[in-house]
Structure formats: structure tokens, C-alpha cells
Structure 1
């Protein structure tokens, strides 16, 4: 099995645990960015976090990194709905995610740091663990791709149609 396959096996094994013991499966019902669900986004962030650790040769607690990445957006609601409780989603969802994760699982200090600090600098306290820094960076990379790429593809296809006609 290649490295990418091994990473996905570790992630999929953790997903199975989170779905059996908690409500991780519910994240499939909520859109995060563009047409990407919170479920898909969380998996992409976990994969990108592991890739960054490998690329920069950073030794990490892989289990905590994967679990923290998968639960970093465990807020369990549709933040796109017009609702005053979602008004400041970017600032407050890390604590809502942590509260839900702590209700459903035993959360380690590393996992808590990942979930609580993944929105830095929107949340003012920076991560203290390397795993949380990696998830914070991976989250930004994935969010940007999920938001920009669909729009870029749509514009590019329009440009190609105009150029051909």
C-alpha cells in the first residue's frame, strides 16, 4: 500500500470509530464551503495535516492529529441558515465543536488544542501544539481550495466558451 493509501486507512479507521461512538456521520448533512460537506472538509483537513507533517518531517501524535482534525468542525448545525446563533460562526464554532466533542468522546489535550485553536487568528489565542498548528494550516489550505476552485473552474469554462466561439 502506498503512503497515500496508508494515510487514508488511518483516517477511515478513525472515522468508523467516530461514527460508531458519536455523531460524526451527521456532519454529512451540513455544507461547509461551496458544495463540500463538513464531513468531506474534515476528512480533507485530516489528510492535508498528515501530508504537511510528512512533508516537513514533523513527528506528531498521529491518532490525536487525525481525531482532532476530524472533529475540528464538529459543531453539528448549518451555519448558512439565517439564525442569530450562527451570526458569528467563524469566531464561536470552535468552542461549540469542542463542547460537542467533549460530550461524545474523551478528548485529549492535543485534540482540545486542535479543535479550540483551528481558527487562529480569528480566535486570538494561538495553538500550543504542533498538531494544532498543522490542522490550523491545513484547514486554511482546504477552505481556500473548496471556496476558490469551484469559482475558478466556472470562470475558466466561461472563458473557454467565449474563446472558442
Structure 2
């Protein structure tokens, strides 16, 4: 918490709670999950845990519904990291590492690969969290419905 407390308390970050990110997560809860899990992985791999935690928290610092908003400049996967970096720079000074983490976190959906191991960490943790927040609840719900169907037919 000491690495991100100055950011997490900011109104601009707290505002992310108003946006649904994935099925069961707000953009704020998603960003906190990415920040914390990325921090733990970076620490274990002797990476820069502070920069990873901070950039993980700020990687989706944008204020629109990504399902509805379209851009002339490119896809959401390309545009939103650039918006997030601009918004993050208004809150704090970013290192080159933090900037790379935020800009490149959509790698695989975008072309340019990360430059640092911490950027790879946030990239893959972000995907893990998105799957966990989106698919896992759907699977639980499906299992529950299947159970209910079989219990009614008995």
C-alpha cells in the first residue's frame, strides 16, 4: 500500500469505481487487482515492485465505456493506454519503466512488445485478471444453472 497510497486516494483514481470493466469488476477493483498481483510477481522476480504496482494501478486510467466508444485513431486496445498515460502524468511523474508498462500492457492485442520484464508482468497479470473477472463468474453461473436444471428434472 505504501507504494500506491498517494495515488489510490486521488479522486481521479477513485472515479474508476463508476465504470464497469469486466463482468464482476469495476475499473477500480480491476486496477487494484492488477496492481497488487503484479507487485507480488515483480517482487518474486526481483523486479521493480514499486513501479510495477504504481503502473499496474494506473494502466486503465480512462473514463469512458470501452464497449461503446470508438476512435478514429485506432482500436480501444491501442488508444486507451495512451489516454491512461496522459491521465497518469497529470497525477504523478512517470518513469520510463512506468510509461512502458502502461503503454504496452495491451501487447498481443497491439504490435509493439514491452521493453521491460515489469511490462510483461503487468501485461499478463492484466489478462489473467480480465479472464478471472469475466469468464470465471460465467462458468460458476453456468454450473449453478446446470445443477438447477438437473435438480428440477429429478
Q: Would you say 1:77 and 2:64 are equivalent positions?
A: yes
Q: Does 1:130 align with 2:117?
A: yes
Deviations 1:37-76 (A, max 9, x none): 110001111122133335xx41011110100000000112
TM-score (structure 1 length as normaliser): 0.83
Q: Is the 8 A contact 1:22 1:105 kept in 2?
A: no
Count residues in correspondence: 151
Q: Give 1:48's aligned residue.
A: 37
Equivalent position to 1:161, from 126, 145, 148? 148
Report SS of the residue matched to 1:47: helix
Structure 2's unaligned 5+ residue stretches are none
Task: Identify which of 13, 32, 35 aligns with 2:24.
Answer: 35
Shift of 1:34: 0.7
- Runs of 4+ off more than 6 Å: none
- Superposition TM-score, scaled by structure 2 size: 0.88
- Distance across 2 between alignment mates of 1:114 and 1:128: 8
- More helix per residue: 1
CA contact (8 A) 2:42 2:48 kept: no
For 1:28 and 1:21, locate their aligned partners in 2 and report how far apart those are by CA, in whole Å.
Answer: 12
Deviates more, 1:109-118 or 1:18-27: 18-27
Which residue of structure 2 lines up, in the alignment, with residue 148 of structure 1? 135
> Deviation per CA, 1:66-112, whole angstroms, max 9, x where unpaired?
000000001122223x3333982122111111111112210111110
